[in-house]
Structure 1
Amino acid sequence: MFATGGEKLYKITRCRDCPNAVIKIDRVEDVLYKLFQDKDFNERHLKYLKCLRPKHHDIFQVAIAGCPNSCSQPQIKDFGIQGQLVPIIGAGCTGCGLCVAACPDNCLELATSGPAINRELCINCGKCASTCPTGTIGAGEIGFRVIRGGKLGRRPVLAQEVCSLTDEKGMVGLLTETIDLLHQEGQAGERLGSLLERINCKDKKN
């Protein structure tokens, strides 16, 4: 049996409590810690690594971002979660224009009938909904964007989108699937990003 000195072989990085967060970060963090414990991740990962002293880059990195600002840097983690709030438009617009001014990505225009959202540009940060004084723009579906496979090191790779919007159950299922994929298909000590690249290259050749 290998020994780690009691150190966790996974790390969960999260945003600070922030008014921009559109998900309950504490809740998500608790759910993820329980998943890693229930899956006996440390023992499984140590067997996968096949080494006595795991290095820093052997630690499975997870990031929880409360909103698309992504201050916890999920783009460079093995598994990243970004909070999403899909804005919906109702009645009652007074034409104040506060939503247009608040949007960081210029996704909104103010038409005669009220605000119009460019869904191709919108990344579901929820700024417009939180700014609207009349409630014309409200919160539609709230959930998670899931990305995976990010890493730094010798050959940096940004995490790629797995799902644009899912609920807590879907997010947990994707993390479980990702861990199983790494431990079942990865070569000893292979980073998730490298494994995904290898699988993609194999699929393209076939």
Structure 2
Amino acid sequence: MRKIPLHEKGGIINEFGGDFCTVRLRIPAGLITVDQMEGIVEIVRRYNTELHLTTRQTMELVHVSPGSLESLAKDLEANGTPIGADKSEIVNITACPGTDRCRFAMIDSISLARTLDEKFFGKEMPVKFRIAISSCPNSCVSERLNEIGITGVVRPYRVPGTCTGCGTCVKYCRENAIAIKNGQIRMNNDLCVHCGMCIQSCPFHIIKADPAAYHITIGGKRGRHPRVGYHVVTVKTPETVIKVVEKVVKWVYRKAWSDSLLPDQLGILD
């Protein structure tokens, strides 16, 4: 197998004019330590470049001289923030804060992002391949606009005979999926997006929840013609999520072709 020269790797992006390049970093879920941040600042100063924060929770060193790429790559690797990906490969995996610090979160999105990064980041693909994780249907990282989107969900249910009809859950439901009839709440499963806000809002803890699950979509895209991905499966554990992602990645690797985004191929692939 041909060894890919450094300047051909996905994290090296040629700038307009051709005299300089941009170097994208690998920072899964956008989380780095203080020491790594200080290291990046020192590297930026050493190579007399600038820093750009990207929409995919990573950073780019801009206006880098091609002649310094070899030494820059070594310094970034030593700092724990190596060169990332941008071309036909699995790129930086994004995630919301998750259960680590968000009160709406249903799943540990950060741990899942790190696991997926370790297993899949940088894998060569026929198309650019993005994976994003939101821990609830608020979709703070727009995960359903990615080739693979993972959303934390929870199904609410009412304990029969104990509802007081106070209407708090009705007020908090953003989907108008709850109504009060004859002093009892009625849930509309067709409107419910399984966000869990009604569960948290109930002052009497009458609305309960099934264990959190993982809603998986494929084929989303951004750009000039954005498209929400297709729901393929909802699973119960992060281990199963990893298995599903692995199957999708293998399927796309075997079936898809270059020069066309994955969402534009889904109607043709078998």
TM class, shorter-length: 0.7 to 0.9
Name the SS of the counterpart of 1:115 in structure 2.
strand
Stretches of structure 2 lacking an aligned partner (at least 5 in a row): 13-82
Aligned-partner Cα distance in 2 for 1:139–1:155: 36
CA positional deviation for 1:24: 1.6
Q: Which residue of 2 is the match for residue 11 of structure 1?
A: 92
Of 21-30 and 63-72, more deviation after overlay is shown by 21-30
Residue-by-residue CA offset, 1:75-97 (whole Å, 9 max, x unaligned): 22111011101102115322211
Say if 2:84 and 2:92, in contact at 8 Å, map to a contact too: no
Amino acid aligned to 2:114: D
Aligned-partner Cα distance in 2 for 1:78–1:155: 14
The percentage of aligned residue pairs carrying the same residue is 27
Aligned-partner Cα distance in 2 for 1:35–1:113: 51
Q: Which residue of 2 is the match for residue 22 of structure 1?
A: 106
Aligned-partner Cα distance in 1 for 2:112–2:187: 29
Aligned-partner Cα distance in 2 for 1:139–1:24: 17
Name the SS of the counterpart of 1:60 in structure 2.
coil
Q: Which residue of 1 is the match for residue 173 of structure 2?
A: 103
For the aligned residue pairs, the C-alpha RMSD in angstroms reads: 2.2
Say if 1:84 and 1:145, in contact at 8 Å, map to a contact too: yes
CA 154–107 in structure 1, closer or farther in 2 if over 3 Å, else same:
closer
The question of 1:175 aligning with 2:252 is answered: no
- Higher RCO structure (Cα 8 Å, ≥6 apart): 1
TM-score normalised to the size of structure 2? 0.62
**Which of 137, 152, 170 is the matching residue for 1:68?**
137
Residue-by-residue CA offset, 1:54-82 (whole Å, 9 max, x unaligned): xxxx5421111111111101122111011
CA positional deviation for 1:115: 1.9
| Structure (1 or 2) with the larger CA radius of gyration | 2
Amino acid aligned to 2:147: D
Aligned-partner Cα distance in 1 for 2:226–2:188: 32
Report which of the two has the higher share of helix: 1
Q: Which residue of 2 is the match for residue 31 of structure 1?
A: 115
The total of aligned residue pairs comes to 185
TM-score normalised to the size of structure 1? 0.79
Amino acid aligned to 1:73: S
Amino acid aligned to 1:132: C
**Structure 1 moving runs of 4+ over 6 Å:** none
Say if 1:107 and 1:118, in contact at 8 Å, map to a contact too: yes
Of 3-12 and 13-22, more deviation after overlay is shown by 3-12
Residue-by-residue CA offset, 1:147-192 (whole Å, 9 max, x unaligned): 1111234654321111145432332222111110111111135432
Q: Which residue of 2 is the match for residue 52 of structure 1?
A: none
1:24-173 superposed matches below 5 A? 24-36=108-120, 41-42=121-122, 44-45=123-124, 48-49=125-126, 59-91=128-160, 92-112=162-182, 114-153=184-223, 155-173=225-243
CA positional deviation for 1:116: 1.7
Name the SS of the counterpart of 1:23 in structure 2.
coil
